[in-house]
Amino acid sequence: MNKSELIDAMASAADCTKSQAGAALDAFCESVTKTLKKGDKVTLVGFGTFSTSKRAARMGRNPQTGKEIQIKAKTVAKFKAGKDLSTRVNK
């Protein structure tokens, strides 16, 4: 499912226009992004938790040349599915 298909499904389920559903989805994504940038978590009970994790700098290898390269440390976003979501997906 891509973004436009998700907007269509949201509009249908919420009985609203596609533009309203699109605005709601954009607002949700923006809010989650801002919260994660601050280093906080977003928890949706039953659905899951969005959070960040720090990856340490490490040595890697360029697959084309075989030369060792330094990979910088970075913060990555992660999602852990909640119990309700996991249960529904595994039915």
Please state the pTM of the whole predicted model: 0.81
- The reply to whether 30 and 72 lie within a common domain is no
- pLDDT > 90? residue 91: no
Q: How high is the pLDDT of residue 16?
A: 96
Note whether 13 and 52 are same-domain residues: no
Query: What one-character-per-residue DSSP string does 45-88 give?
Result: TTTEEEEEEEE--EEEE-TTT--EEEEPPEEEEEEEE-HHHHHH
Number of domains the chain is built from: 2
pLDDT digits (tens, 9 = 90+) for 17-49: 999 999 999 999 999 999 999 999 999 999 999
Specify whether 91 is located in the same domain as 57: yes
Residues 6+ apart with CB under 8 A from 75: 52, 53, 54, 55
pLDDT in tens, 58-70: 999 999 999 999 9
Q: Which domain holds residue 26?
A: 1-38
- For residue 59, the model assigns a pLDDT of 95
Q: Count the helix, strand and coil residues of the chain and give each as a percent rounded to the nearest 5.
A: 45, 30, 25
